[in-house]
């Protein structure tokens, strides 16, 4: 029997973990041959369909998530029309908790694997190789199916007690480690029960053994995976265990970045001491703040203390080199628009690298569905089930929050406007700045794609109107610096606020200075090098900027396939012509 395991990622850079797990769990079943094919939601549906059919599999299993379920449903329907004899199976969080409903609405599918897949999948394939494919007798637990009389739910299956029983897909070489982002997990389950999250369905946490974790991590490090994204729901649920793994990575890592989802309030002093040893950028922490209002948090069953959580975040940003990403969910029970702004307001002073704001999603199978019904929330019927109106937020306010979220991505999370926002924050609260900017952007009809130059122009026009008159010059200078450190300011392409007197480096610096700076820069063969220089009243290379006049030389190195690299040096005194 030929089996095709497939999924559609949100982005090309992602490598599946679920499919290699399933393949690893079934390598020893005789008379089966399993192939993995990974696509993205951005590929043409007809191309994906052709490639799936070209595999001529007897069974096609789809790994379903909120971002791919609609496309998968359409592709599966077409597969069944072209090859009615192909068995179609769905699994993953988007179908696990509503399997009967899914089978009812998607008649192309024959089976749904509910919940944790490896054991169910392994027993299911054994069953299929022994029984006639159409027989439902003695189907293993955890499999929902379509009978003549309609969908039948699967029997409950206990979670796998010892996770080490699941063969490592890394040890078997089944994960595509050439992708820039590889998913990995050291544990399953979450100790918390937030009503809006599907992880609240599973009680307790199970960990792989430390021996297994060390071996998998070494494999990822040796393969020089660019980003290892751990999908553990709360990686540091056990502070001692987290410390051991972090120390192991610190001792062995070569060049990989490790991304963890953590609960900041659980960090111990010993954890912080360990994290002070982390080189800048090696670890990224994603921390769910979600909301600050204690009553709101209590209503969704979140037990974290927001004050303690924020204090720990501050320790992280002040004392360690960890990159900090904070999440907020807008629209939780009891939080209105001013409550949302108050939550956002508490995050900026902590200096995180990213702030992600998302309107609440009422996920199928989550306890939030019941709360939403009781409180008469309106939310989208299809993925991603985003709220449309709540008793606390109007449709317009939710749209406005989405615009603030987009501006945060463009201006704050991109890191492109670091110096300009630092200058803004000296005069205004950033929450008020982004809130008002969202209205301005709407008025300017700039709600679609915005070019980089226009992003700077909009920031200038909006900022100079918001800030007090005495801030104008320093704001302009900071914006110019931010532009120069990301893009070569070619004549004609410079934003309108650039000082007219600024020239290219070759015009303003003596030749010896340029030559001596260029010797310090690594230039790949065939690369193009351009230079630019400008005088600033502060040195924006530092955070906060160092006061005092400085002449900066920007070196722009571009090589095909490598993007643009910018290096910045201070010009020695008397280097200017």
What residues make contact with ligand SF4 under the rule CB under 6 A? Answer: 190, 192-194, 197, 199-200, 233-234, 288
User: What six digits make up the tokens of 176?
Assistant: 């595509």
For ligand SF4, the closer of residues 200 and 419 by Cβ is 200
User: What six digits make up the tokens of 97?
Assistant: 């908790």
- Could you tell me which residues come within 8 angstroms of residue 134 by beta carbon, excluding any fewer than 6 positions away? none
For ligand SF4, the closer of residues 25 and 197 by Cβ is 197
CB 200 within 8 A of CB 192: yes
Q: CA dist 128 to 26, 88, 146, 433, Å?
A: 13, 13, 15, 60
Q: How far is the CB of 286 from ligand SF4 (least distance, A)?
A: 10
Task: Tell which residue, 104, 179, 189, 190, has the closest CA to residue 147.
Answer: 104
For ligand SF4, the closer of residues 231 and 518 by Cβ is 231
CB 340 within 8 A of CB 329: no
For ligand SF4, the closer of residues 301 and 383 by Cβ is 301
460: left (phi over 0), alpha (psi -120 to 50) or beta: alpha
Kindly give the interhelix angle for 430-443 and 337-347, rounded to the nearest 10 degrees.
120
For ligand SF4, the closer of residues 39 and 260 by Cβ is 260
Q: How far is the CB of 327 from ligand SF4 (least distance, A)?
A: 9
Distance (Å, whole) CA 174 – CA 179: 13
For ligand SF4, the closer of residues 196 and 475 by Cβ is 196
Q: How far is the CB of 268 from ligand SF4 (least distance, A)?
A: 18
Distance (Å, whole) CA 121 – CA 59: 12
For ligand SF4, the closer of residues 89 and 194 by Cβ is 194
Distance (Å, whole) CA 75 – CA 508: 60
* Residue 511 burial (C-beta neighbours within 10 Å; 0-12, 13-18, 19+): exposed
User: What six digits make up the tokens of 540?
Assistant: 């924006």
For ligand SF4, the closer of residues 286 and 397 by Cβ is 286
For ligand SF4, the closer of residues 168 and 200 by Cβ is 200
Question: Using alpha carbons only, what angle is made at residue 179 by residues 176 and 185, rounded to the nearest 5 degrees?
Answer: 65
Q: How far is the CB of 233 from ligand SF4 (least distance, A)?
A: 4
Distance (Å, whole) CA 156 – CA 142: 6
CB 221 within 8 A of CB 245: no
| Buried/exposed code over 308-344 (b: 16+ C-beta within 10 A; e: otherwise) | ebbebbbbbbeebebbbbbbbbbbbbbbbbebbbebb
> Looking at residue 415, what DSSP letter applies?
-
For ligand SF4, the closer of residues 233 and 400 by Cβ is 233
Q: Rounded to the nearest 5°, which phi and psi values hold at 22?
A: -65, -40
Distance (Å, whole) CA 112 – CA 145: 6
Q: How far is the CB of 188 from ligand SF4 (least distance, A)?
A: 11
Tell me which H or E stretch contains 103.
Answer: helix 99-105
For ligand SF4, the closer of residues 197 and 245 by Cβ is 197
User: What six digits make up the tokens of 464?
Assistant: 């100079």
Q: How far is the CB of 288 from ligand SF4 (least distance, A)?
A: 5
Q: How far is the CB of 302 from ligand SF4 (least distance, A)?
A: 6
Q: How far is the CB of 161 from ligand SF4 (least distance, A)?
A: 21
């Amino acid at each position: 029997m030929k089996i095709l395991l497939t999924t559609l990622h949100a982005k090309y850079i992602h490598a599946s973990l679920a499919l290699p797990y399933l393949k690893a769990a079934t390598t020893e079943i005789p008379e089966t041959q399993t192939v993995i094919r990974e696509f993205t939601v951005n590929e043409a549906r007809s191309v994906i369909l052709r490639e799936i059919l070209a595999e001529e599999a007897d069974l096609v299993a789809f790994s379903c998530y909120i971002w791919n379920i609609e496309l998968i449903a359409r592709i599966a329907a077409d597969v069944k029309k072209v090859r009615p004899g192909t068995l179609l199976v769905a699994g993953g969080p988007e179908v696990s908790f509503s399997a009967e409903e899914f089978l009812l609405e998607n008649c192309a599918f024959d089976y749904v694997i509910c919940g944790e897949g490896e054991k169910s999948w392994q027993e299911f394939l054994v069953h299929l190789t022994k029984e006639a494919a159409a027989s439902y007798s003695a189907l293993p637990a955890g499999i929902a199916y379509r009978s003549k009389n309609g969908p039948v739910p699967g029997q409950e299956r206990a979670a796998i007690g010892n996770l080490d029983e699941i063969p490592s897909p890394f040890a078997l070489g089944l994960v595509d480690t050439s992708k820039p982002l590889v998913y990995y997990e050291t544990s399953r389950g979450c100790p918390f029960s937030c009503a809006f999250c599907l992880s609240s369905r599973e009680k307790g946490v199970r960990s792989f053994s430390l021996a297994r974790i060390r071996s998998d991590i070494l494999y990822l490090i040796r393969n020089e995976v660019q980003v290892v994204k751990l999908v553990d729901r709360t990686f540091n649920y056990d502070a001692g265990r987290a410390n051991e793994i972090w120390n192991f990575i610190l001792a062995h890592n070569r060049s990989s970045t490790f991304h963890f989802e953590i609960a900041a309030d659980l960090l111990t002093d010993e954890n912080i001491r360990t994290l002070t040893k982390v080189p800048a950028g090696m670890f990224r922490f994603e921390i769910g703040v979600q909301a600050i209002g204690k009553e709101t948090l209590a209503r969704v069953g979140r037990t974290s203390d927001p004050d303690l959580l924020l204090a720990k975040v501050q320790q992280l940003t002040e004392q360690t080199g960890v990159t900090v990403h904070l999440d907020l969910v807008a629209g939780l029970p009891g939080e209105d628009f001013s409550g949302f702004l108050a939550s956002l307001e508490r995050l900026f002073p902590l200096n995180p690298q990213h702030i992600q704001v998302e309107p609440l999603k009422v996920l199928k199978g989550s306890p939030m569905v019941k709360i939403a019904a009781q409180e008469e929330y309106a939310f989208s019927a299809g993925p991603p089930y985003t709220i449309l109106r709540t008793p606390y937020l109007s449709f317009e306010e939710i749209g406005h929050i989405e615009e603030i979220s987009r501006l945060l991505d463009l201006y704050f999370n991109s890191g492109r406007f670091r110096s300009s926002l630092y200058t803004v924050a000296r005069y205004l609260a950033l929450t008020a700045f982004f809130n008002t900017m969202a209205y301005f952007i709407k008025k300017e009809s700039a709600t679609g794609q915005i070019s980089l130059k226009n992003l700077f122009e909009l920031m200038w026009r909006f900022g100079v109107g918001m800030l007090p008159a005495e801030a104008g010059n320093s704001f302009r200078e900071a914006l110019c610096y931010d532009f120069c450190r990301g893009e070569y300011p070619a004549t004609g392409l410079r934003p309108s606020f650039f000082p007219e007197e600024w020239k290219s480096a070759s015009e303003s610096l003596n030749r010896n200075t340029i030559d001596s700076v260029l010797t310090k820069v690594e230039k790949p063969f065939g690369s193009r090098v351009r230079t630019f220089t400008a005088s600033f009243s502060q040195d924006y290379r530092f955070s906060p900027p160092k006061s005092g006049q400085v002449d900066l030389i920007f070196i722009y190195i571009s090589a095909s396939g490598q993007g643009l690299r910018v290096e910045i040096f201070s010009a020695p005194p008397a280097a200017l012509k």
